[in-house]
């Protein structure tokens, strides 16, 4: 029992160290460093608001917050999956040494994205205050939304990391896929402006569901509808199971190929 | 930090500015065209607009014209024919950002004149209160009087009836006007654009249609449209939206332009989605299929290996299970044809055959060399090994590592597709070739507690693979390694260091991965630094280190604690300066005394001879010899020399 506990402690320690490395690396050559994690979404919000807020003003009240909510959730997903994809290949040399399970590296990448998301949230909360979004109890649901987003990203991360070992081109394919998914996530436009059939598709988009969840509970102070919950749970469980199975079944092959 | 604050403030300001524009309540009057050209004696329609971004509500207009040139026919709520005035009053409005009134005039005589429009007043639309599902009523904003910003005027040219100008010439002007006003208005609202594209232009009568084909043009957003030149008649069918959010006026244009201007984009999107989904599924399916095929092939292959002297073209002469090879002199003569080349579901092609025969040639050369068999005392029994002192050691000591019949097989792709397309084509044709490489081939040996085992062999003979299997990083294709993974520590040089991080950060990163806890690292940090002799460089980035410094640090971290019961050193002892080498050797010896079991991979014969109590020689994946370092090293040297002789 004690051994198990110290194992977990060690696990956490490794993930923290790996994450610290990722973040230090990422901002190693920039002078503002981690502040960029806060600034980047803000500046993006400004740009997007300048371009789109007038266009959708009648349909979206408070466009900057509408966009920022979508962008932070989207950033978490795309950042986590993109980084997790290359986690195994990038840490080739460490993989051989590590005594901990190999998926530590994938988890650490997702955790890195979460830390980045944390900094982004600073900007988000600041904006919520500036734009006078009324605090409501439903805001307490926001962490649940993050859990959903994380679970989904972890599942995808397992799958992508495994695939990337065998098929490096997936990196480029996934880039295209991410763009497609982003435009299907209604980050900067109202879903109502799309035709019915497209709305049906978008309402099954896991990332859009997460964004919708966040908007409902933060912006509008509403409890997300049941179908949103159900679909999110389906996506998360499905993603995690799928990712785990793919990863576990290929675990040995991964070490051989790397 | 200061910069960050400035940027933040700018960001906030920028965001706040557009929100002020939201409250603007400007209204103005406008005509549908910048100019009109009509023919004498005919009736024509003029579109007069009241525009307000917030949605037009109650409004009033006065349109002035020259009574000498024009005659008012219909469209307004009142008129004064003597002074040339038409009055328009709308008590409700339509809520869209543009309210349109159609006035009909008749051209009296040939002349140049103009009409003008003045908005008397305009209010924003009185939207109804919104009633939510739960019954609560959200009151809508009350109408606000707009500021009238400008009036409109348009010149009118009335031509003689005898020679009517062709209609087409005036069209470009109209279109130009239209796009300009669109661009202006999209800046404020998308709906403006929608309504704005509505043009009412009629030379003789609205009912006259010249073409059989009617087309629908759905205009939305800020799309700039090119109206085909052949259009004779554009007419607004529906301008009064029931719900402003769905405001989608349909413009029906009649013309005989053969090409549709715009297809339904949702259909396109759906196609793209389907294509991408299908291609993804196809990709996954392909790779899955391929893995399966490879697995199957591998299984067949292994089956073949386990049945030597089968009818296969390759012959595998295997040592008996559990038997250590060197006993048999003939072992060295067996053809090492494990560098086989195979193909997925296709017989080996000519190239593959060549490759195999080449390998076979090479091996037959090697087979001619006579190796001295090792001492009988060793070979008699698997579990008896010759110690350094020549004493026979029994199985009584604790066995720490037990490598049992380990085979490791790699697939090496011999074909590198230049791209995805190429890859897919080859995958479909089943032409991707894989070379099977046995990095290890039925290797068995045991390591006992406290032993220092040297592993020798030429480059690429599978030493590192063996270490990786022992440390647990790789799982063997077949066979077993019995070892407590938690006690194993693998030390290879230059791996696992992040060049962008400082030495201190690397100590923690590397230490955590090796398995040290934070407390342990905190406690031993100074020892590590001291041992690596890098006191002044710990805050320096590792990328600025020399390779010797990096390896010193790596060694210091790996040997920091007495935690490692089994230490695996991969080419570690032959680096660093003479001084450090001595120091690290001393450290290793210290650990041996402390009860550590050490596996050393080295090319330096002296390192092996000086430190090891046992030596394992692996050649091309096969175990050649296990035993006394002196004898094994001698045999190894012998082979090297003869190899060189053959090579010369």
Q: Is A94 on the interface with B (CB under 8 A)?
A: yes
The interface residues of chain A toward chain B in range 218-247, judged by CB-CB distance below 8 A, are none
| pLDDT tops 50 at residue B338 | no
Q: Is A49 on the interface with B (CB under 8 A)?
A: yes
Tell me which H or E stretch contains B90.
strand B85-90
For the segment B58-75, the average pLDDT, to the nearest whole number, is: 86
What tokens were used for B632?
């094994």
**What are the tens digits of pLDDT across the range B347-381?**
434 444 444 444 444 443 333 333 333 333 333 33
Q: Which residues of A touch B505 (CB under 8 A)?
A: 20-21, 24
Listed by number, the residues of chain B in 353-372 with a beta carbon closer than 8 Å to a beta carbon of chain A are none
Q: What is the pLDDT of residue A231?
A: 92
Q: Which residues 6+ apart lie within 8 Å of B642 measured at CB?
A: B369
Residue B198: pLDDT above 50?
no
Task: Over range B457-474, report the average pLDDT.
Answer: 80
Residue B587, pLDDT score:
79
Q: Would the pLDDT of A74 be above 90?
A: yes
Residue among B491, B505, B503, B564 nearest B530 (CA) = B503
Residue of A nearest to B492 (CA): A97
Beta bridge partners of B438: B409
A contacts of B290 (beta carbons < 8 Å): none
Check residues A169 and B299 and name the one with the higher pLDDT: A169
B451 backbone dihedrals φ, ψ, rounded to 5°: -80, 150
Q: Between chains, do B14 and A50 touch, taking CB under 8 Å as contact?
A: yes
Residues of A in contact with B270 (CB under 8 A): 197-198, 201
> What is the phi/psi pair of residue B85, to 5°?
-125, 140
Q: Is the pLDDT of residue A186 over 80?
A: yes
pLDDT of residue B175: 43
Tell me the CA distances in angstroms from A242 to A159, A208, A246, one per residue in order. 7, 20, 6
Query: Is the CB of A194 less than 8 angstroms away from the CB of B4?
Result: no
| Residue B138 near residue B132, CB atoms below 8 Å | yes
Question: CB neighbours of A226 closer than 8 A, spacing ≥ 6?
Answer: none
Q: Do domains B25-262 and B296-484+565-647 have the same CATH topology?
A: no
CA dist., res. B22 & res. A49, Å (int):
13
| Chain A interface, best mutation among B11, B190, B268, B495, by max A CB count within 10 A | B11
For an interface test with A, give the residue of B24, B513, B520 to mutate (most A CBs within 10 A): B513
Classify residue B55 by its DSSP letter.
Answer: -
Q: Are B575 and B548 in contact (CB under 8 A)?
A: yes
Q: How far apart are CA B500 and CA B507, in angstroms?
A: 13
At residue A117, the pLDDT reads 92
Helix axes B265-306, B420-429, angle to 10 degrees: 50
Residue range B25-262, CATH number:
2.60.40.680
Cross-chain Cβ contact B266/A195 below 8 Å: yes
| Domain layout of chain A by residue ranges | 2-257
- Residues comprising chain A, all counted: 258
Contact A173 B517 (CB under 8 A): no
Read off the pLDDT of residues B499-523 as tens digits, 9 standing for 90 and up: 888 888 888 888 888 778 888 888 8
Residue B253 has pLDDT above 70, yes or no: no
CA neighbor of B116 nearest in space, from B66, B65, B68: B65
Q: Residue B331, Cα to own-chain centre: how many angstroms?
A: 51
What phi, psi does B529 have (nearest 5°)? -60, -45
Q: Where are the domains of chain B?
A: 25-262, 296-484+565-647
Rounded to whole angstroms, the Cα distance separating B410 from B339 reads 10
Pairs across A and B, CB distance < 8 A: 147
Kindly give the pairing relationship between strand B250-254 and strand B147-148: unpaired
pLDDT confidence of A161, banded at 50, 70, 90?
A: very high
Q: What is the pLDDT of residue B574?
A: 64
pTM, two decimal places? 0.56
Q: Are B598 and B453 in contact (CB under 8 A)?
A: yes
Q: Considering only the top CATH level, what class is B296-484+565-647?
A: alpha beta
Measured in whole angstroms, how far is the alpha carbon of residue B64 from the centre of its chain? Answer: 64
* Model confidence pLDDT, tens digit, residues B589-634: 777 777 778 888 877 777 788 778 888 888 888 888 888 888 888 8
Q: Does A1 touch chain B (CB under 8 A)?
A: no
Which pLDDT belongs to residue B423? 67
User: Would you place residue B562 in the very low, low, confident or very high pLDDT band (cuts 50, 70, 90)?
Assistant: low
Contacts of residue B492 in chain A, CB cutoff 8 Å? 93, 96-97
- For the record, the structure tokens of B103 come out as 């006035």
- Asked whether B43 and B104 are in contact (CB, 8 A), the reply is yes
CA A138 to chain B, closest CA, distance in angstroms equals: 18
Closest CB from A9, A50, A99 relative to B486: A99
Minimal C-alpha gap between B325 and chain A (Å): 26
> Which pLDDT score is estimated for A211?
94
Classify burial at B587, counting beta carbons within 10 Å of its beta carbon; exposed 0-12, middle 13-18, buried 19 or more: middle
Q: Check residue A134 and give its pLDDT.
A: 85
- Binary contact (B485, A167; C-beta < 8 A): no
φ/ψ of residue A100, rounded to 5: -80, 165
Those residues whose C-beta lies under 8 Å from the C-beta of residue B387, and which sit 6 or more positions away, are B393, B613, B614, B628
Render B212-273 in DSSP notation, one character per residue: S-EEEE---TTPPP---TT--EEEEEE---SSGGG---EEEEE---SS-S---HHHHHHHHH
Chain A residues whose beta carbon lies within 8 Å of the beta carbon of residue B466: none
| pLDDT band for position B153 (cuts 50, 70, 90) | confident
User: Which residues of A fall within a CB distance of 8 Å from B13?
Assistant: none
**Is B308 a residue whose pLDDT tops 60?**
no
Tell me the average pLDDT of chain B. Answer: 67
Q: How confident is the model at residue A157 (pLDDT cuts 50, 70, 90)?
A: very high
Tell me if A45 sits within 8 A of A126, measured CB to CB: no
A153 has pLDDT over 90:
yes
Residues of chain B by 3-state class (helix, strand, coil), percent to 5:
35, 25, 35
Cα–Cα dist B313/B347, whole Å: 12
* Chain B residues 416-435 within an 8 A CB cutoff of chain A: 419-420, 423
Of B285, B289, B310, the C-alpha closest to B300 is B310
Cβ–Cβ of A10/B272 closer than 8 Å?
no
Tokens of A3: 């051994």
Instruction: Say what the pLDDT of residue A109 is.
Output: 92
Question: Is residue A40's pLDDT more than 90?
Answer: no
> What is residue A150's predicted lDDT score, i.e. its pLDDT?
94
Query: Do the chains contact at B488 and A57, CB–CB below 8 Å?
Result: no
Residues B273-298 pLDDT 10s: 788 788 878 877 776 666 666 666 66
Q: Which helix (H) or strand (E) holds B588?
A: helix B578-593
Q: Higher confidence at residue B326 or residue A4?
A: A4
Nearest Cβ partner for B12 among A16, A130, A198: A130
Q: How confident is the model at residue A243 (pLDDT cuts 50, 70, 90)?
A: very high
Q: At what angle do helices A35-52 and A63-85 cross, to 10 degrees?
A: 130
- Report CB contact under 8 Å: A194, B266: yes
Task: Yes or no: say if B78 and B29 are a contact pair by the CB < 8 Å rule.
Answer: no
Averaged pLDDT score across all residues of chain A:
87
The interaxial angle of helices A103-130 and A2-26, nearest 10 deg, is 60
| Band of pLDDT at residue B7, cut at 50, 70 and 90 | low
- Closest CA of chain B from A234, distance in Å: 20
Q: Mean pLDDT over residues A43-59, rounded?
A: 81
For B199-216, write each residue's pLDDT tens digit: 444 444 444 444 444 444
Tell me the chain B residues in contact with residue A253 when contact means C-beta distances shorter than 8 Å. 291
Q: Does position B219 have pLDDT exceeding 80, yes or no? A: no
Task: Please state whether beta strands B392-393 and B488-492 pair in parallel, antiparallel, or not at all (unpaired).
Answer: unpaired
Token readout for B369 is 């060399």
CB B200 within 8 A of CB B251: no
Q: What pLDDT, on the 0 to 100 scale, is given for residue A238?
A: 94
> Which residue did the predictor score with more confidence, B255 or B61?
B61
């Amino acid at each position: 029992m004690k051994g198990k506990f110290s194992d977990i402690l060690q696990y956490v320690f490794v993930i923290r160290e790996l994450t610290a490395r990722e973040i230090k690396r990422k901002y190693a050559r920039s002078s503002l460093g981690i502040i960029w994690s806060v600034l980047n979404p803000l500046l993006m919000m400004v740009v997007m608001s300048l371009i789109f807020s007038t266009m959708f003003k009648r349909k979206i009240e408070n466009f900057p917050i509408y966009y920022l909510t979508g962008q932070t959730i989207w950033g978490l997903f795309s950042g986590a999956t993109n980084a997790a994809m290359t986690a195994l290949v990038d840490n080739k040399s460490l993989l051989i040494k590590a005594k901990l399970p190999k998926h530590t590296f994938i988890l650490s990448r997702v955790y890195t994205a979460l830390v980045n998301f944390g900094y982004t949230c600073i900007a988000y909360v600041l904006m919520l205050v500036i734009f006078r979004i009324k605090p409501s109890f439903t805001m307490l649901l926001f962490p649940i939304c993050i859990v959903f987003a994380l679970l989904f990203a972890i599942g995808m991360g397992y799958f992508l990391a495994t695939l990337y070992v065998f098929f490096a081109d997936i990196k480029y394919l996934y880039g295209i896929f991410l763009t497609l998914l982003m435009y299907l996530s209604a980050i900067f436009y109202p879903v109502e402006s799309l035709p019915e059939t497209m709305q049906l598709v978008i309402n099954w988009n896991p990332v859009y569901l997460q964004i919708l969840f966040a908007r409902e509970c933060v912006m509008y102070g509403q409890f997300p509808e049941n179908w949103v919950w159900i679909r999110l749970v389906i996506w998360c469980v499905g993603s995690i199971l799928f990712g785990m199975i793919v990863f576990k079944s290929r675990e040995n092959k991964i070490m051989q190929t790397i | 930090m200061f910069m960050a604050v400035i940027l933040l403030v700018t960001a906030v300001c920028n965001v706040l500015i557009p929100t002020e524009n939201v409250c603007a309540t400007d209204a103005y009057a406008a005509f549908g065209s910048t100019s009109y050209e009509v023919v004498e004696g005919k009736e024509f329609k003029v579109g007069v607009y009241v525009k307000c971004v917030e949605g037009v509500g109650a409004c009033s207009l006065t349109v002035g014209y020259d009574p000498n040139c024009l005659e008012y026919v219909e469209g307004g709520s009142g008129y004064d024919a003597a002074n040339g005035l038409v009055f328009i009053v709308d008590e409700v409005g339509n809520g869209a950002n543009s309210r349109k009134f159609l006035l009909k005039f008749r051209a009296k005589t040939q002349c140049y004149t103009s009409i003008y429009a003045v908005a008397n007043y305009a209010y924003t639309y009185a939207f109804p209160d919104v009633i939510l599902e739960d019954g609560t009523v959200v009151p809508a904003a009350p109408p606000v009087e707009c500021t009238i910003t400008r009036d409109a005027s348009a010149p009118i040219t009335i031509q003689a009836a005898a020679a009517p100008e062709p209609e087409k010439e005036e069209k470009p002007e109209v279109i130009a006007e239209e796009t300009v006003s669109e661009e202006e208005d999209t800046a404020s609202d998308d709906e403006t654009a929608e309504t704005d594209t509505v043009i009412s232009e009629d030379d003789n009568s609205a009912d006259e249609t010249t073409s059989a084909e009617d087309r629908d043009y759905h205009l939305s957003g800020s799309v700039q449209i090119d109206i085909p030149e052949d259009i004779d008649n554009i007419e607004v069918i529906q301008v009064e939206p029931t719900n402003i959010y769905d405001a989608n006026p349909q413009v029906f244009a009649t013309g005989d332009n053969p090409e549709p201007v715009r297809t339904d984009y949702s259909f396109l999107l759906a196609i793209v989605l389907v294509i991408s989904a299908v291609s993804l599924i196809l990709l996954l399916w392909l790779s899955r299929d391929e893995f399966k095929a490879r697995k199957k092939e591998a299984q067949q292959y292994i089956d073949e290996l386990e049945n030597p002297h089968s009818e296969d073209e390759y012959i595998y002469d295997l040592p008996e299970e559990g038997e250590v090879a060197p006993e048999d002199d003939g072992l060295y003569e067996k053809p090492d044809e494990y560098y086989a080349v195979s193909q997925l579901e296709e017989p080996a092609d000519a190239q593959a055959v060549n490759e195999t025969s080449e390998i076979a040639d090479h091996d037959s050369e090697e087979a001619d060399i006579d190796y001295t068999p090792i001492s009988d005392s060793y070979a008699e029994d698997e579990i008896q090994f010759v110690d350094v002192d020549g004493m026979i050691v029994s199985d009584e000591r604790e066995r720490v590592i037990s490598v049992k019949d380990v085979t490791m097989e790699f697939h090496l792709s011999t074909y590198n597709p230049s791209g995805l397309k190429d890859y897919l084509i080859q995958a479909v044709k089943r032409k991707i070739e894989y070379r099977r490489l046995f990095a290890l081939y039925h290797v068995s040996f045991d390591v006992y507690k406290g032993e220092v085992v040297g592993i020798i062999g030429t480059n690429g003979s599978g030493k590192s693979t063996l270490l990786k299997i022992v440390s647990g990083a790789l799982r063997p294709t077949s066979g077993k390694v019995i070892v407590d993974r938690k006690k194993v520590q693998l030390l290879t040089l230059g791996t696992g260091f992040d060049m962008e991080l400082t030495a201190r950060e690397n100590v923690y990163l590397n230490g955590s991965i090796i398995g040290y806890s934070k407390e342990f690292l905190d406690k031993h940090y100074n020892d590590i630094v001291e041992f690596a002799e890098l006191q002044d460089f710990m805050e320096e980035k590792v990328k600025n280190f020399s390779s010797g410094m990096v390896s010193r640090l790596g060694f210091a971290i790996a040997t920091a604690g007495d935690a490692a019961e089994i230490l695996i050193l991969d080419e570690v002892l032959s680096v660093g300066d003479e001084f450090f080498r001595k120091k690290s050797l001393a450290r290793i010896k210290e650990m041996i005394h402390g009860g550590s079991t050490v596996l050393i991979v080295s090319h330096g014969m002296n390192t092996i001879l000086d430190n090891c109590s046992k030596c394992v020689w692996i050649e091309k994946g096969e175990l050649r010899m296990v035993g006394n370092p002196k004898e094994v090293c001698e045999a190894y040297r012998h082979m090297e020399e003869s190899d060189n002789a053959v090579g010369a």
